Structure 1
């Protein structure tokens, strides 16, 4: 029995079309997750249409993305298209223009690709120029109208991610200019959630008879993208679980050494001379911080690979780090009183000393030793809650772990938004508003996060599932807050 046409495997074609040198090949690399074609900052680099598989379904469907030559003289193109079917026009297009006007011939090849291969045209416009200055736009829209294929307009070259209001203003200006819906999708800085919005737009533009095959392709794309997201949260959960359970033992005489170290810090904060030799506490801090720095580099490398990017992390990924440590050890009220009196008056000096005393690692990784602004009784209760500790050891404090979780989410956003079209991955400054969004998400889910930190005396393998669930929930909330119009994809 022959399956219905809607159930038969199909190839859906998407043709990337634009004015020359707007970034089609760069966007194609980002959407495909691999390097194709040639990218140079000059006109007419792509001279032939090239097709590449963007997605394939288990049922045998194929989503094909075509990178095409750029438009040149669009007015002339419109006239040539009106000659379709004329033998003289065909001769001029296939022979004369090929040797006498190669860029114009390449543009005709793009139009032929649209006619023969495209179910939907993805037309790119350049956000880095004013819509009023795009003098070629009317002629190119006329060409697309003559071709008679559904068109989705993409706003490319937006620059770094922007707050939604700013992006909406750009999108609205271009939408008013082209007279049809416009979808922001930057080749350099886009997220997989935004790619889902592109597929939604394509599905809406397709003829009814092509939608069943496309729905199978979209399910396959969603499974792949969500798989990368979940694997990323696995990686971050592993890193955070290792940090939460990490301990650095201190020698038995560590308390006396720590009091001496704190006294030296107090003296330095008052401008007095002090012994500059690192003691057991500073060495333990450096050891913990170095392990955290190494784990951050290695984890970022794995995130980069998971997202289909090339390149490796460098010390610049260490810019956001914890400044606080907590000491685990048995403390009595009398000894706590000594600590409390010293910490209250010397906190600022101690922090300044540790930030400027050479206890740093690459890219701003601070091996800080800020004890915390606690009074004597509060400090004693904080330590006495951790009973059953035979010897003193150094561990990350809860505020430091919160900061590491904050940094993990920021790092995920940075990697997930890095388009392959930019070339090898390299650390960049994240948009300022991301930091605020992450802080809001961490605050909303702080109770669950602290419930996980409360289990840090368990092995890292036991803590990791709870952290993975927290990261999935928090990152889902974070992406939905950045892209509320696409939140359904995250459910």
Structure 2
């Protein structure tokens, strides 16, 4: 057995406290994977085989400034639970009898592993975290009954954790899954709470809920110290949250302030370009040639945003203690999301504005035929999906009174960047270490509606921010307001995904 990490507390508060959690389950249920996710580092060995963890391994989850310490023990999995429970039931004092037995580590591995887990619970645990495989139907998990009888004999408070739940689901579906397992576990003396906490797709909000549940079942003398530990854990996660929102706000602010100047052009060329776009699939002839300077400007703007989103996503991944690089997602329709500001008078602007809606089909055809090749990719956590049809409402935004024409991102694109930034944050924040290095994947469909609802109260403030771009402010002037807006929306999104969370 590894050395106990819960050594005597360092000098601090007179009531400095040590609390130990023992992580137990049937063999190969994902204990070590979940331990890695909670610890934020690689420990033990993870592979699809029984009894991978040989000995109980203790690790420090967190220390408080007052000298309190919270430790987590990863234990060998329960083996032949039915045979062990039958043997225990034949003894007047089951636990003492079992711990007195000498089972061979290699010839009777299932019983030996079970013995090590029970020994750890008896000697170390203040609270037992009992993992169950939520991918199974509760009625089919035959190993649960004997293992719960064994834990009942130990007499320590148990919190059941639903692991291997799959991708994040809407709150109602998750609550229904918890209710099914609560019904399955009803009747045991020691199970005090059932929570969902998947090693592959958990969120820090769920970690806080777990520690709050632990605090509720601790003896009264340990609660003051544990309250400090809970505060330290939440402060750590809040710092990561704040740094993440700051990074996202900087990303969007840079996009809002970015512009690419164009050489002076003729209104007739602009009309011809838009006119050709009304005829899908037709390659423009010499009289309908496209504005190559404008396309070069679009490409430059796109490449900067592309590089910025990649670098920003990498920083977000690093903040969450993950590895991996931002994935490349090739966008075929990026040109639809530019705004072109051109110095023309009001009458001509009105003429051009009437052509915007009709230009959409032509823009698509232009891209399909290779007329506008932007190259590369743009990782935006679902930027195009977040923009939807609204992102195409103003392909060109013509404004009079400027000395030089410029290409900028439209207001709709910036709104879409805010949505996609929050979707990207949720994806990274839910990425458990059980999945290995970071890789982009589709977010659960219900997240889009959650983010949209969370951002809705901020639409007016965002509109006012984008209106201020006419004065060409620097990106740093956008950042404070964006940071406040994104933080509020992100907390509201988390509150919708986890109803018990207090934003």
TM-score, reference length from structure 2:
0.87
Residue 28 of structure 2 is aligned to residue 14 of structure 1: no
**CA apart distance, 1:262:** 2.3
Post-superposition shift, 1:337?
4.6
Cα pair 1:69 1:109 within 8 Å, conserved: yes
Deviation at residue 31 of structure 1 after TM alignment: 0.6
Is 1:232–2:248 an aligned residue pair?
no
Q: Is the 8 A contact 2:422 2:451 kept in 1?
A: yes
Which residue of 2 is the match for residue 301 of structure 1? 314
The equivalent residue for 1:310 is 323
Q: Indicate whether 1:186 and 2:219 are aligned.
A: no
Match of 1:123 among 127, 130, 134: 130
Indicate the RMSD between aligned Cα atoms, in angstroms: 2.9
- How far does residue 106 in structure 1 lie from its aligned partner after superposition? 2.1
Question: Which one of 471, 476, 485 corresponds to residue 470 of structure 1?
Answer: 485
CA-to-aligned-CA distance 1:418-472 (integer Å, 9 cap, x gap) = 0012110100100011011112222221011222222332111111111111111
Quick one: structure 1 residues 177 and 372, their matched pair in 2 at CA, closer, same or farther if it must change by over 3 Å? Answer: closer
**1:40 and 2:47 equivalent?**
yes
Asked if 2 retains the 8 angstrom alpha-carbon contact of 1:322 and 1:403, the reply is no
Q: Which runs of 5+ in 2 are unaligned?
A: 1-11
Asked if structure 2 preserves the Cα contact closer than 8 Å seen for 1:74 and 1:136, the reply is yes
**Which stretch has the larger CA shift, 68-77 or 271-280?**
271-280
Is residue 435 from structure 1 mapped to residue 448 from structure 2 by the alignment?
yes
Counterpart residue number, 1:65: 72
**Change beyond 3 A, Cα 1:260–1:61:** same
The worse-fitting range, judged by mean Cα deviation, of 356-365 and 408-417 is 356-365
Match of 1:124, SS? strand
Shift of 1:169: 1.6
Alpha-carbon spacing, 1:454–1:211, altered in 2? closer, same or farther (3 Å): same
1-structure distance, mates of 2:125, 2:139: 29
- Number of the residue aligned with 2:285: 274
TM-score by length of 1: 0.89
- Normalized per residue, the structure richer in helix is 1
Query: Which range is displaced more, 398-407 or 67-76?
Result: 67-76
Deviation at 1:213, TM superposition (A): 1.0
Task: Kindly report which structure 2 residues correspond to 1:12-411, keeping only aligned pairs within 5 A, or say none.
Answer: 12-78=19-85, 79-80=87-88, 82-85=93-96, 90=99, 92-93=101-102, 96-179=103-186, 180=191, 181-253=193-265, 255=267, 257-266=269-278, 268-269=279-280, 271=282, 273-274=284-285, 279-316=292-329, 323-343=336-356, 345-354=358-367, 357=370, 358-363=372-377, 383-384=399-400, 387=401, 389-411=402-424
Distance 1:433 1:226, change over 3 A: same
Q: Distance in 2 between matches of 1:97 and 1:373?
A: 72
Residue in structure 1 matched with residue 468 of structure 2 by the alignment: 455
Deviates more, 1:429-438 or 1:276-285: 276-285
Q: Any conservation in 2 of the 1:124–1:153 contact (CA below 8 Å)? A: yes
Query: How far apart, CA to CA, are the structure 2 residues paired with 1:189 and 1:110?
Result: 26
Aligned residues: 473
C-alpha separation between the residues in 2 aligned to 1:191 and 1:84? 36
| Offset, 1:347 | 3.7
Please report how far the alpha carbon of residue 101 of structure 1 lies from its aligned counterpart in structure 2 after TM superposition.
1.2
Report the Cα distance in structure 2 between the residues aligned to 1:445 and 1:429, rounded to whole angstroms.
25
Q: Offset of 1:341 from its aligned partner?
A: 4.9
Q: Residues 48 and 328 (structure 1 numbering): CA distance in 2 closer, same or farther, change over 3 Å?
A: same
Contact conserved, 1:321 with 1:403, CA < 8 A, in 2? no
Cα distance in 2 for residues equivalent to 1:318 and 1:190: 29
Q: CA deviation at 1:123?
A: 0.3
Do the aligned partners of residues 27 and 317 (structure 1) sit closer, same or farther apart at CA in structure 2, a change above 3 Å counting? farther
Runs (5+) with no aligned partner, structure 1? none
> What is the CA distance between 1:177 and its match in structure 2?
0.3
Q: Distance in 2 between matches of 1:428 and 1:383?
A: 39
In structure 2, how many angstroms separate the alpha carbons of the residues matched to 1:48 and 1:227? 34
Q: Describe the shift of the 1:256–1:52 C-alpha distance in structure 2 as closer, same or farther (beyond 3 A).
A: farther
Q: What displacement does 1:141 show?
A: 0.3
